[in-house]
A and B are shown apart, each in its own frame.
Chain A
Amino acid sequence: MQDALFYIFAASTLICASMVIGNPFSRNPVTSAMFLVLTIASLAGLFVLLHAFFLAAVQVLVYAGAVMVLFLFVIMLLDLKAEERRKVKKFGVAAGLVCVSAILGILLASIARAPVDVQENPSLEGGTVLLGSLLFRQYLLPFEIVSLLLLVAVVGVVLLSKKELK
């Protein structure tokens, strides 16, 4: 059952991800964003299969919720119509395919060759209790620094969005 679910979620992740970059029916950024939502939802499914329940919830809330709303908001704001008239450059696509398949080959070869030194029956579950105690004990300093980072991002975005940049 779990194996079948893994294959279903993995296939839907990869198919939706390729739809983000090259949808044969539409070049509209809004469709790309919608397929990105589907990709992220199937990734959350993979996280559940890996027993990372809290991260699956965070993935759906933060990525599929907040980040994608931001993306769609900006797409609607910019009103991008010119994209559909442009042609894809054949040479660019070919060069990109060559580069990416080379990198993918290296990655897959090293994954296949890597020594398998893992637990036979993993039992750890990423629930809120364990993750919370880790975050507030061992990783307290990075946690606080992240809050500072978010503050800096808020100030930066407000500054960038002002009417005239100086």
Chain B
Amino acid sequence: MHITLQHYLTVSALLFAVGLLGVIVRRNLLVIYMCIELMLNAANLALVAFSRFTNNLDGQVFVFFIITVAAAEVAVGLALIVALYRKRQTAHVEDLTLMKN
């Protein structure tokens, strides 16, 4: 059987689901951050697949921008986590209950 657009989209959906599950289940801020990267990569895969199968390069330009913005986002997010750790000595979401009650 030949590989079609559907195959790539299925892989992308599964990868997105794995990332989402990680965001919900894991309690470590850094691992949650990695799972967000997984979800971004799933979106990238879908965009590249669409770009290939519709003979249009715009999707790949979009992925290029997404990778750039993701790099900036990771830098800012990790700086936030480090600042948080310095203040509260934890990188665990269950210990961050300042807004609770």
A and B physically associate: yes
B75 touches A157 (CB 8 A): yes
B38 touches A36 (CB 8 A): yes
The secondary-structure label for the interface of chain B is: helix
- C-beta contact mask, A20-62 vs B, less than 8 Å → 1, else 0? 1110000001001100100110010011011110110011001
Say if the beta carbon of B96 comes within 8 Å of chain A. Answer: no
Name the A residues within 8 Å of B7 (CB-CB): 6, 10
The secondary-structure label for the interface of chain A is: helix
User: A20-B38, A96-B24 are contacts. A135–B11 as well, Cβ < 8 Å?
Assistant: no
A3 touches B2 (CB 8 A): yes
Partner pick for B48 among A2, A55, A77, A104, CB 8 A cutoff: A55
B5 touches A20 (CB 8 A): no
How many residues belonging to A are interface residues under a CB distance threshold of 8 Å? 82
A-B contact pairs, 29 of them (CB 8 A): A20-B38, A21-B31, A29-B28, A32-B34, A46-B11, A46-B45, A50-B51, A62-B67, A63-B41, A66-B71, A71-B33, A71-B34, A71-B74, A78-B30, A80-B30, A82-B90, A83-B92, A99-B24, A104-B17, A118-B54, A119-B54, A124-B52, A124-B55, A126-B57, A150-B68, A160-B83, A161-B79, A161-B82, A165-B83
Known: A29-B30, A104-B17, A160-B82. 17 other contacts (CB 8 A): A6-B3, A17-B38, A21-B25, A50-B52, A55-B67, A59-B44, A70-B75, A71-B33, A71-B34, A78-B82, A107-B13, A124-B51, A150-B72, A153-B72, A153-B75, A160-B76, A161-B82
Taking Cβ atoms with an 8 Å cutoff, the residues of A that contact B are: 2-3, 6, 10, 13-14, 17-18, 20-22, 29, 32-33, 36, 39-40, 43, 46-47, 49-52, 54-55, 58-59, 62-63, 66-67, 70-71, 74-75, 77-78, 80, 82-83, 86, 88, 92-93, 95-97, 99-101, 103-104, 107-108, 111-112, 114, 116, 118-119, 122-124, 126, 130-131, 134-135, 139, 142, 146, 149-150, 152-154, 156-157, 160-161, 165
